[in-house]
Amino acid sequence: MHKNSFFEDVFEVVRLIPKGKISTYGAIAEYLGTKGAARMVGWALNQCNDTGKENIPAHRVVNRKGLLTGKIHFRGKSMGGLLRADGIQISNNQIMDFENLLWEPRKELL
């Protein structure tokens, strides 16, 4: 069952984030059973910039405070713009109503 690498697991979970919702690095790492690998989740998502992984809504993953810490790593379109396209409101790199929009795979995918 561990055929997929950690990165691929991350991609798979991120792909499941519904439009209009967002998740966090820590929540995803925790769901994958490696709670301490939150940083690794971000690094994995960095690979999303590569062609072929454009289906992955990396913009829906933020840190646990709802801050768009990863926006600087986006090439081309801005992270905030993509989130707004999902109907999410942003103010000063902070997702509005963050807690209400949070999608935790640990709960949702159970």
Binding site for DNA (CB under 7 A): 5-7, 24-27, 34-46, 48-49, 58-59, 61, 63-65, 69-70, 72-74, 79
Helix (H, G, I), strand (E, B) or coil at 24: strand
- Which residue number, 63 or 81, has a Cβ lying nearer to DNA? 63
Strand partners, 102: 22
**45 vs 10: CA distance, rounded Å:** 8
By beta-carbon proximity to DNA, the closer residue of 18 and 78 is: 78
Q: Which contacts of 33-38 are long-range, i.e. CB under 8 A and separated by 24 or more positions?
A: 34/6, 37/6
User: How far apart are alpha carbons 77 and 28 in whole angstroms?
Assistant: 24
Q: Which is nearer to DNA, 65 or 89 (CB)?
A: 65
Find the shortest distance in angstroms from Cβ 31 to DNA: 12
Shortest approach of DNA to residue 96 CB, angstroms? 18
Q: Smallest distance from the beta carbon of 89 to DNA, in angstroms?
A: 18
